[in-house]
Structure 1
């Protein structure tokens, strides 16, 4: 199952970009034998200032047809890393060839896009910078692949 992180805004070169690339590379290597990956990041930018609605339209264009859609939202389900891994495996096992994970802009995800999503997940009650949310999500993808492969990376 291919994974696409669709995010509003551009991540410039720097430590966040290095971490993101590292975790996605690890996910690709670990997930390959599990039928997970490759993963890629698609960045969109609303240059006209249309707000959440405009961002939602740009994000939707980045989603492959028939992909499962998960949005990151502070009101979403708070999953443990094991639960996240199991949800990933369930979608893969259900024959979903694509998963799109959406990260909105500063104001979050448009309510209409959130309503259309297969699942809304939260990275916790704290608010995180959108650039760090990408890194945290990519680490959880790698952690999920590690859990599913039986690797000792994840410890309970």
Structure 2
């Protein structure tokens, strides 16, 4: 199965980029992974609510343009469905068995995701009720994808 991650912004912290690179290596035997980074929309430090909304919509346009046709779209959303690792693995397995060619997971920036992007989602997934930076969310997502692959392969994983 192919999994594409579309994420707003670049990873700035070395410890996070090292962790993401490690999980990219670990995922090679299980799935085809690609990461597309979407540029953060520039705005002033003291941007108004309307300027922030405009920035979120511009980022959303770039995200929507990067989503391939026929993919199953998952957006990370704090108000989304929380899944245990086993449930995430089962969801991925069922998509694969149904012949879904690819899954695209979208991680918004610090402003979140536009309504248009949220509306494109087949699944709104929450990693936790806690708030994480979008950079940290990418690392957590990668670890959970790896864990789901191990579960689906019948390999041991830490509970």
Identify whether the pair has TM-score above 0.5, normalized to the shorter chain.
Answer: yes
SS at match of 2:28: helix
Question: Deviation of residue 12 (structure 1)?
Answer: 3.4
Q: Name 2:7's counterpart in structure 1.
A: 7
Q: Residues of 2 paired with 1:141 and 1:60: CA distance?
A: 22
For the pair 1:40 / 2:34, whether they are aligned, the reply is yes
* Number of residue pairs aligned between Structure 1 and Structure 2: 149
Computed over aligned residues only, the root mean square deviation of the Cα atoms, in angstroms, reads: 1.3
Q: Residues of 2 paired with 1:122 and 1:26: CA distance?
A: 23
1:154 paired residue among 141, 147, 158: 158
SS at match of 1:154: coil
Moved more, 7-16 or 102-111: 7-16
Equivalent residues in 2 for 1:1-156 (5 A)?
1-12=1-12, 14-29=14-29, 31=30, 37-49=31-43, 50-155=54-159
Question: Deviation of residue 48 (structure 1)?
Answer: 4.9
Structure 1 gap ranges (5+): 32-36
SS at match of 1:6: strand
Q: Is the 8 A contact 1:146 1:154 kept in 2?
A: no
The list of structure 1 runs, each at least 4 consecutive aligned residues, that deviate by more than 6 angstroms after superposition, is: none
Q: Residues of 2 paired with 1:70 and 1:133: CA distance?
A: 14
Q: Residues of 2 paired with 1:60 and 1:11: CA distance?
A: 21
SS at match of 1:73: strand
Q: Which of structures 1 and 2 has the bigger CA Rg?
A: 2
Structure 2 length-normalised TM: 0.88
Moved more, 59-68 or 132-141: 59-68
Q: Name 1:34's counterpart in structure 2.
A: none
Task: Provide Cα deviations, 1:103-135, integer angstroms capped at 9, x if missing partner.
Answer: 011111112211221000001110001100000
Structure 2 gap ranges (5+): 44-53
Structure 1 length-normalised TM: 0.90
Q: Residues of 2 paired with 1:40 and 1:119: CA distance?
A: 19
